[in-house]
Amino acid sequence: MKRLLIAWILLLMMAPGAMPAETVVGEENDQPASETPLKVGFFDDVTGAMKREATQVSDELRGQAVSLFAHTPLGWDTDTLFYAYRQAVSLPGKAPEFVETVLEQSRVLGFAGSMIMLIFLVAVLYSLIGRKRVLDKTRKVADPLFAKLPEELQPYFFLALLSVTAALIPLILLGGFSLVKGFVSYGAPWFLLIGRLLGLWAAGALLISIFRGIFDYGILEIRTDYGTTAVRALRLVVFYVLTGIAVIWGAEAFGQREDFLAFLRFLIFFSINIVFLLFFLQKKLVLSLVPQLPFPSYQTFLKNLDRFYYPVVVITFLTGILWCFGFKQFSVVFWTKTWAVVGVYIGFSLVYHLLIKRLDKWAEASGAKDEHTRFFIKSLKGLILYVAVIVTGLVMLDLLGGLDPLRRVMSFPLLTLGNSVLSIWVMAKAMLILLAFIYASRLICAYLNYKVYPSVGIEPGLAYAIDTFLKYFLLFLGGLTVLQVVGFDLRALLVFAGAIGIGVGLAMQGMAANLISGFSIIFGGKLRRGDWIETGDTVGEVTDIYLRATKVRTRDNIEYIIPNANLMSEVIVNYSLSDSLIRISVSFGVSYAADPHEVARLAEEVAKKEPLVADSPGPAIRFVGYGDNSIDFQLLVWIDVRRVARRNVRSRIYFALFDAFKQAGIEIPFPQRDLHIRSGIPEVWQQPKPV
């Protein structure tokens, strides 16, 4: 797998990018494109192109930095202050005029319209008073239904119910207002303003209910040390901001002067900035709102946030003041590159944590103890982590304003291939796509082993062959996708195919033989992952089958890397091909004084009591002969060679035979020689007596 990935990378290094190469002016080429020779090489001026692009990006960034301090006119001056003062002083004297306006508008609406508006206002007041009662009744009705849901999902459904119920009353009133507006053709500014205020009310109720639900139900990994205080503070901040917006809308609806509206916006936004400063000065309260996640990088982020909290808050407040005084571009850029980036990082980290936590709970509930389930969960976590890192990094880099400059700096031409060039940016995209296909192939194979193969009843060897084929096929498909994305010229494949053919013919015969043998082993079905084999003096389990070699692990935990060509050319004993039961013999001898029938009976009892010996077929005893020092026997037993080792079984049986024979008083002889001297033989070799 890794070697195929390296081969794709080497091929991509010769692939073209999306940028056209420099063309030579003044030369004509009448040769057809299909017959044009393919030229491969490094770009002529890589250093110069990189310097030019970096200089251009630097000049653009310098220009953007200068434009950050562009000032936007405030839209009001001292005359506006005098106008606002006169309006405030004359406000009490305008009460009769206001009453007259209300009466005039009621005559325009008529009796029916006025009664509808009165009923509408009463409904608004009742909704403000009876909101808690409505929430309690809704909760009481929904409790039996939510009790049937999984425990980990109940807080989220309760939060959704609370939010919808809190915003339901203003939404119903907004629907009633739309109905009144449809029946009464009336376009007074204050009448239209009511519809906007109802929408604002619904948004505020939704936000406050979400804040309350997050603390009440312990959602988003937020500490509840300051739960009640935090909810109250957030409610006041939301209420003040929405009230300021409502005041601005009201001033616009009643046709105030543009400079007065600009001054009013300045005052409200300045006061909102003060309110936010007072809120963020409560450091412990604010940091309690930040989710507490267990990741090391996230913990480092929290430590730095705690360390530089007050300087960041002060700088943020000052940028808010600058925004009020017309330096809006600088303030927006600062907020985007700080708080927006922080929010994206926290948000994506939280989503990733919740997904992983949900996976862990599912694994714990389902009892993920087998290898395939654990591998499926691990593969899914790997894919989620890959997507989270890539998406978070790209979004944060874009918010920081570095994505486009980085793309341009990395897009300088590096290699030329025909009329196209390859850049580092193209190679980076190719690597990301290839990694995505690798993670996807792992997940697909893991899911097949976890869910599909057991349901269909596919044996492990065939499953491993299918997985191997899918891995290489998906990687090959990913490589073709990358080549298509980067605009690879297929003529280069012919060049590399020729080079590979020459290499195979001259110096790669062994590798080619191993690759072909690897395909034969994988799809032949005679040797599978998990089989116990014996080749030469090596007995072990096949743990992995690669295209070039096969890995075998012995019972001594020694791993052998055997070339596939050797496995195809040598004799292999496969103990798992059809049946893993094999028969082994245990040879022993006893004294001539022992009863052979009693010895056979004791040996069979020992074999039957041994747990490592198979029950069927049963053991057998053979009387094999009369030895020099003993009468010899062979005990034949059957064992599962995949589970137990032959040496271990023989050792246990020998121990058991020794104990059984000792208890029965049967002697196990050792090699010995007896010398017998007999008398009465004529001593013919002695010298004759003298006469």
Least confident of 253-267, 388-402, 646-660, 666-680: 666-680
Residue 201 has pLDDT above 90, yes or no: no
Specify the pLDDT at position 179: 75
- The answer to whether residues 461 and 531 touch, using CB atoms and an 8 Å cutoff, is yes
pLDDT band at 35 (very low <50, low <70, confident <90, very high): very low
- pLDDT score at 559: 86
Pick the CATH number of 527-574 from 3.20.20.150, 2.30.30.60, 2.60.120.620, 2.60.120.10: 2.30.30.60
Average pLDDT over residues 543-553: 82
Task: Fill in the DSSP letter of residue 601.
Answer: H
Q: Are 577 and 531 in contact (CB under 8 A)?
A: yes
Q: How confident is the model at residue 47 (pLDDT cuts 50, 70, 90)?
A: low
Long-range own/partner contacts, residues 52-58 (CB < 8 A, 24 or more apart): 53/408, 53/409, 53/411, 53/412, 54/409, 56/408, 57/405, 57/408, 57/409
Q: Residue 201's CB: how many other CB atoms inside 10 A? A: 21
| Residue-level pLDDT at 503 | 60
Cα(402)–Cα(618) distance, integer angstroms: 76
Has residue 26 got a pLDDT over 50?
A: no
Alpha-carbon distance 270 to 279, whole Å? 14
Average pLDDT of the segment spanning 46-72: 69
Report the share of the chain in percent with pLDDT over 70.
70
The two tokens of residue 413 are 């031409």
Between 597 and 504, name the one with better pLDDT. Answer: 597
Helix, strand, coil shares of the chain, percent, nearest 5, are 65, 10, 25
Record the pTM.
Answer: 0.66
State the pLDDT at residue 129.
59
pLDDT at residue 99, as a whole number: 62
DSSP 402-441: -HHHHHHHTTSEEEEETTEEEEHHHHHHHHHHHHHHHHHH
CA 355 from chain center: how many Å?
9
Three-state DSSP at 559 gives strand
pLDDT at residue 418 tops 70? no
Please state which CATH class domain 581-664 belongs to: alpha beta
pLDDT at 123 (0 to 100): 60
DSSP 8-state symbol, 92: G
pLDDT digits (tens, 9 = 90+) for 63-75: 666 677 778 888 8
Highest mean pLDDT among 110-114, 318-322, 406-410, 456-460: 318-322
Q: DSSP state, 70?
A: P
Alpha helices, H only, 557-620: 564-569, 596-609
Distance, in Å, from the CA atom of 187 to the CA atom of 75, rounded to the nearest integer, reads 29
Among 75-79, 116-120, 161-165, 579-583, the range with the most confident prediction by mean pLDDT is 75-79
Q: From CA 438, how far away is CA 473, in angstroms rounded?
A: 11
Most confident of 178-192, 302-316, 445-459: 302-316
Model confidence band, residue 29 (pLDDT cutoffs 50, 70, 90): very low
> Domain-by-domain residue ranges, the chain?
1-19+37-64+417-507, 78-88+95-292, 527-574, 581-664
Crossing angle for the helix pair 460-486 and 2-12, nearest 10 degrees? 10
Does 435 have pLDDT greater than 60?
yes
390, pLDDT greater than 90? yes
Look over the chain and give the mean of its residue pLDDT values, rounded to a whole number: 76
